[in-house]
Amino acid sequence: MKFLRGNAACPGCPIPKELDALLEVTGKKTVLVVPASCTTVIMGDTTGMPSTVPVVHSAFAASPAIASGISASLRSKGEKDYSVVVWAGDGGTGDIGFASLSGAAERNEDIIYVCYDNEAYMNTGIQRSGLTPYGAWTTTTPSGKREFKKPLPMIVAEHNVPYVATASVAYIFDYQNKVKKAKEIKGFRYIHLLSPCPPGWRYDSSLTIEIAKLAVETGIWPLYEIENGEFRLTSISKVLIDKDKRKPVESYIKYQGRFAKLSAEDIKKLQDYVDEMWEQIKGLIKK
Amino acid sequence: MQVVRGKVLALVGNHAVAYAVKQAKPQVLAVYPITPQTTMLEKLSEYVDKGELKAEMIKVESEHSAMASIYGAAVSGSRVFTATSSQGLLYMTEMIYWVGGQRAPIVAAIATRAIASPWSIWDDHQDFVSKRDAIWIQMMAENVQDAYDMTLQAFKISEDKRVVLPVMMGFDGFILTHTMERVETLPDNVVDSFIPPRQFNLIDFDNPLGVGPIATPDKYIEFRYKAMQAMERSKNVIKEVAKEYEDISGRNQYGLTECYMCDDAEFLLIAMGAWVGDIRVAVNRMRNEGKKVGLLKIRVFRPFPKEEVNDILKGRKGALVFDRAYSFGSGGVLGIETRANAYGLDTPIYNVIAGLGGKDVRPMEIQKITEDMIEGKLENERWLL
């Protein structure tokens, strides 16, 4: 079960690989629900589609609700072992789709929600979203964003859903293990996947995996899962609890044109943000 | 076919619609509460809770999600239903257009209500007519019996293979939603054979499809053209379904329009919705006084029954269109429709705007304004303030 080649993704875009890895686990009986996003374009027009599973395209704010309806409908028909997967970007998840995401999470709908986070509205040409990081250039934050990223996985976890995880395309087995786990659980499952974007982040398209890896190694993107309220670091992030093992954030941002204008002070702010986040993580592990 | 009488019940409009929905056996419902639809939502919740209606009921967080979730259910093969009103219908609007464009078979009951601001919870038709370009069939009930009958017919029309369009059943907020009337129902088994289970599914794991992807300009206009054709085809289907319903229920069901006292009428009154009942009373009184007036009830607003309306208008001395909704900067919405479609006819068409925000309109007032028309004293557009 593979996402087909010859799709309309930009060079270096990890989305086809991420969908590939997802479908490999969830299998043939998967319905993808895709709101307005880069994936809408990647999926192509009415003349054909690169997906080997059914895709329901959705208005921007509607995908968690549409997925709820599909899931209810398949359940009422006695269908078994299916996965209804929302595949949405950060804007569709954290901004315009946030109310319906929260609604579906609160109702504990039987769906898997994957947010592929490229940290801006990339489909319309790199505008800031609530998930754009501090300091990042976008066309609507020409001198760099002044606010920090909305902590979405934690917000979703606060809804007491059975499964929340973060993932990175650079750690594909970790990601696939999380999808596997999500597939086995009933109820609302949420995976937040950092998805680097060459044109939006202003880096060479050969560096996607390298950058996805550095995001984890610098600790700016911790890999974890929260299963029935229990927080656990996964993969390489387990050792990064030790501050000395983490690379400085500078090694992550230096490849990206969107951070090119960051002052030394801004870089320190970003580093402090990462360090504070890890202090919080320590607290979560102790629980 | 033999006419079978079901139970005769005393029901408020909201409960009559809920009862029809229960009999139609949708598999998925999604409803968000809004005045004056709320008691319908409560009744449906009760049916599902007691197991009288075996359906998945999604208690969504907004009207936008209500329409979105039944859209998901509809494309995956379930019969679906939702209901809303006024601000809720507006909040739902993005998805109203979305499901129209995808031609998803969906039935929605709209308890018609004025739109804010200023706040108003009372009845008019502004919410309902604002959806006229969304590729939905739109029908308006005259009374509670009609709301029950139309709801059942809506499912059949919506799912007909020649149509496959969403259907909106409008019924006046409070005036019908909260008024108890005598309702003749159909027995469950008769409903079962009138609307058999749906056979239509876009989610097929063996033959995966992309539902609603990007359409290039040449494809987009083709989609719209086909929707237009489906709308035109639906006129005959609506009439057929009404006839079949009449055969099993024994109740006179009309297709797109109903003409009352029209044959020799020199002047026509045109309206849709609950105040058709008041206009009927006014027509009866005027007939008793020897005035040759008739009533043209618009039962289906979309597709607009232009051929029928034109045929009926032809050769009359005047027609007066009653509007509970206004297109600001233009005119009463039903008035505009009637005039535009009657282009080329000699019949003068007048427009009265009344009853907005629930303002009461009495048969006396209807008589008075009709008399003004007969006496040639009526201007093109008059507001009853």
How far B186 CA lies from chain A's nearest CA (Å)?
A: 26
- Predicted ipTM of the assembly: 0.94
What's the CATH code, domain B8-249?
3.40.50.970
Mean pLDDT for the stretch of residues B335-359 = 96
Mean pLDDT for the stretch of residues A230-237 = 97
Mean pLDDT for the stretch of residues A247-263 = 97
Residue B186 clears pLDDT 90, i.e. is over it: yes
Of A43, A59, A100, Cβ closest to residue B213: A43
| Residue A67 at interface with chain B, using a CB cutoff of 8 Å | yes
Residue B91 clears pLDDT 60, i.e. is over it: yes
DSSP states of chain A as a string? --PPSS--PPTT-SHHHHHHHHHHHH-SSEEEEEESSHHHHHT-BTT--S-SS-EEEE-TTTHHHHHHHHHHHHHHTT--S-EEEEEEEHIIIIITTHHHHHHHHHTT-S-EEEEEE-SSBTTTTSB--TTPPTT--BTTBTT---SPPP-HHHHHHTTT-SEEEEEETTSHHHHHHHHHHHHHS-S-EEEEEE---HHHHT--GGGHHHHHHHHHHTTSS--EEEETTEEEE-GGGGGGGSGGGSPPTHHHHTT-GGGTT--HHHHHHHHHHHHHHHHHHHHHHH-
- Rounded to two decimals, the pTM is 0.96
Task: Report the pLDDT value the prediction gives residue B350, as an integer from 0 to 100.
Answer: 98
Instruction: Please tell me the total number of residues recorded for chain A in this structure.
Output: 287
Task: Report the pLDDT value the prediction gives residue B207, as an integer from 0 to 100.
Answer: 92
**pLDDT tens figures, A19-74:** 999 999 999 999 999 999 999 999 988 777 889 999 999 999 999 999 999 999 99
Query: Residue A103's closest chain B neighbor by CA?
Result: B61
**pLDDT tens figures, A132-182:** 999 999 999 999 999 999 999 999 999 999 999 999 999 999 999 999 999
How far B258 CA lies from chain A's nearest CA (Å)?
A: 37
Residue A10 clears pLDDT 90, i.e. is over it: yes
Task: Please say whether the structural domain A15-284 has been given the CATH code 3.40.50.700.
Answer: no
Mean pLDDT for the stretch of residues B88-93 = 98
Question: For residue B272, which amino acid is it?
Answer: M
Return mean pLDDT, chain A: 96
Of A54, A72, A99, Cβ closest to residue B203: A54
Question: For residue B303, which amino acid is it?
Answer: P
Cα B251 to Cα B302: distance, rounded to the nearest angstrom: 23
Residue B2 clears pLDDT 80, i.e. is over it: no
Cα B23 to Cα B25: distance, rounded to the nearest angstrom: 5
Are B330 and B362 spatial neighbours (Cβ–Cβ below 8 Å)?
Answer: no
Task: Report the pLDDT value the prediction gives residue A44, as an integer from 0 to 100.
Answer: 86
Residue B345 in 3-state DSSP?
A: coil
Query: Which residue ranges make up each domain of chain B?
Result: 8-249, 257-383
Location of structure tokens 């039903």: B334
| Residue A59 at interface with chain B, using a CB cutoff of 8 Å | yes
| Residue A159 at interface with chain B, using a CB cutoff of 8 Å | no
Of B203, B204, B214, Cβ closest to residue A70: B203
- Please, what is the end-to-end C-alpha distance for chain A in angstroms? 39
Burial B110-146 (b: 16+ CB within 10 A, else e): bbbbbbeeeebbbbbbbbbbbbeebbbbbbbbbbbbb
Contact check, Cβ <8 Å, B55/A76: yes
Contact check, Cβ <8 Å, A40/B27: no
Structural tokens at position B348: 């003068």
Residue B51 CB neighbour total at 10 angstroms: 7
Residue among A4, A46, A80 with most chain B CBs within 10 A, to mutate: A46
Interior CA angle at A210 toward A206 and A214, to 5°?
150
Return mean pLDDT, chain B: 96
Q: pLDDT-derived band of residue A1, with 50, 70 and 90 as boundaries? A: low
Cα B366 to Cα A216, B269, B271, B286, distances in angstroms: 74, 9, 12, 10
Cis peptide, bond prior to residue B120, ω within 30 of zero: no
Query: Residue B29's closest chain A neighbor by CA?
Result: A69
Residue B325 clears pLDDT 80, i.e. is over it: yes
Cα B145 to Cα B154: distance, rounded to the nearest angstrom: 14
What's the CATH code, domain B257-383?
3.40.50.920
Task: Report the pLDDT value the prediction gives residue B254, as an integer from 0 to 100.
Answer: 82
Short-list A221, A271, A222, A281, CA closest to A249: A271
Short-list B332, B303, B304, CA closest to B319: B332
Mean pLDDT for the stretch of residues B26-45 = 97
Task: Report the pLDDT value the prediction gives residue B1, as an integer from 0 to 100.
Answer: 58
Short-list B13, B115, B178, CA closest to B357: B115
Establish whether domains B8-249 and B257-383 are of one fold: yes
Contact check, Cβ <8 Å, A55/B78: no
**pLDDT tens figures, A177-211:** 999 999 999 999 999 999 999 999 999 999 999 99
Q: Which residues of chain A does B70 touch, with a Cβ-Cβ cutoff of 8 Å?
A: 69
Query: Residue B95's closest chain A neighbor by CA?
Result: A59
| pLDDT, greater one: B94 or B5 | B94
Cα A42 to Cα A189: distance, rounded to the nearest angstrom: 24
Task: Report the pLDDT value the prediction gives residue A287, as an integer from 0 to 100.
Answer: 57
**pLDDT tens figures, B232-269:** 999 999 999 999 999 999 988 889 999 999 999 999 99
Q: Which residues of chain A does B94 touch, with a Cβ-Cβ cutoff of 8 Å?
A: 59, 61-62
Burial label, A242 (beta-carbon count in 10 A; 0-12, 13-18, 19+) = exposed
